[in-house]
């Protein structure tokens, strides 16, 4: 395996720690994957292994059909969904899946998160959409993610009755989108509990999104979304 595969193995193993740090996962239910740049390969976590035990050497390398190329354990049960996204969306370099509580509560009700916050306008450019209900195993989850996010500003989709999938130009960006999705969902939930949110003008959402995606951050660093 090349140095690039080794680098992606280390990155994917480490990023799972962020899911734990931000409280997005329970037990082993959540996963990060990354495309190996320039290769038709992805790296994903093994199925059912504690986050404490994830290391670069027990990550699983698969081809973009989800077939294991290198690794001793079975890959995540969500591998088919991740692989479908990489096949369909060439600009995506990272995929994350969680059942984070507030965002998944919106998914359970099948309701998109409307944009009433500047932070949501920045990262998501509007509402966070709902994707279709789909059973795990085949391509249905991947198809639902791609159908919902293609041409959409949001890097996150709330898969109905299931949970969150996010995409990014790399795995770190997809993890960030998962963290921000849960943060926005929590605030949106609290807002609903308190009453009716104040509306935001579409032009203001557009201006915030444009500034954050194109100007925010340090010069020369890569931008948030693919």
To the nearest whole angstrom, how small is the minimum distance from the Cβ of residue 104 to Zn ion? 9
CA–CA distance, 112 with 6 (Å, rounded to integer): 38
- For the question of residue 216 being annotated catalytic, the response is yes
User: Which residue in 82, 84, 162, 170 is the catalytic one?
Assistant: 162
Residue nearest to Zn ion (CB): 163
Among the listed ranges 3-11, 60-68, 160-168, 186-194, the one in contact with Zn ion (CB under 5 A) is 160-168
- Choose the stretch contacting Zn ion; rule: CB under 5 A; options: 47-55, 59-67, 158-166, 208-216: 158-166
In angstroms, the CA 54 to CA 56 distance is 7
Q: How far apart are CA 60 and CA 47, in angstroms?
A: 9
- Of residues 98 and 153, the one with the C-beta less far from Zn ion: 98
Residue matched to tokens 């890097």? 155
| Burial of 198: CB neighbours in 10 Å, binned 0-12, 13-18, 19+ | exposed
Say if CB 83 and CB 113 are below 8 A apart: no
Question: 158 Cβ partners below 8 Å, 6+ apart?
Answer: 103, 104, 106, 107, 112, 113, 128, 129, 130, 131, 164
Which is the catalytic residue, given 22, 51, 99, 152? 99
Number of residues that bind Zn ion (CB under 5 A): 1
Residue identified by tokens 């027990």 is 58
Could you give the string, one character per residue 161-180, with x where binding to Zn ion holds by CB under 5 A and - elsewhere?
--x-----------------
97 catalytic per annotation: yes
43/35 Cα distance (integer angstroms): 6
**Closest approach of Cβ 162 to Zn ion, in Å?**
6
Minimal distance, residue 164 CB to Zn ion, in Å? 9
Q: Which is nearer to Zn ion, 5 or 158 (CB)?
A: 158
Nearer to Zn ion by C-beta: 145 or 205?
145
Provide, rounded to whole angstroms, the least separation between the CB of residue 99 and Zn ion: 6
Catalytic residue numbers read 97, 99, 122, 162, 216
> Which residues contact Zn ion (rule: CB under 5 A)?
163
């Amino acid at each position: 395996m090349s140095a690039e595969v080794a680098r992606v193995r280390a990155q994917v193993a480490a990023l799972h720690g962020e899911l734990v740090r931000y409280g997005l996962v329970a037990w082993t239910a959540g996963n990060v994957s990354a495309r190996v740049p320039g290769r038709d390969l992805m790296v994903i976590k093994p199925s059912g292994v504690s986050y404490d035990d994830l290391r670069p050497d027990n990550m699983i390398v698969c081809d973009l059909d989800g077939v294991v190329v290198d690794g001793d354990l079975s890959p995540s049960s969500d591998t088919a969904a991740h692989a479908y996204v990489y096949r369909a969306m060439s600009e995506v370099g990272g995929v994350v899946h969680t059942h984070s509580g507030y965002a998944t509560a919106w998914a359970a009700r099948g309701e998109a998160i409307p944009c009433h916050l500047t932070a949501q306008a920045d990262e998501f450019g509007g509402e966070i959409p709902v994707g279709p209900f789909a059973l795990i195993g085949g391509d249905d989850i991947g198809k639902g993610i791609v159908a919902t996010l293609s041409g959409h500003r949001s890097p996150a989709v709330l898969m109905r009755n299931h949970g969150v999938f996010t995409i990014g130009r790399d795995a770190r960006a997809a993890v960030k989108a998962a963290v921000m999705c849960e943060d926005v969902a929590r605030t949106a939930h609290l807002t609903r509990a308190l009453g009716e949110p104040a509306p935001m003008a579409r032009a203001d959402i557009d201006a915030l999104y444009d500034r954050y995606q194109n100007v925010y951050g340090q010069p020369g660093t890569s931008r948030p979304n693919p």
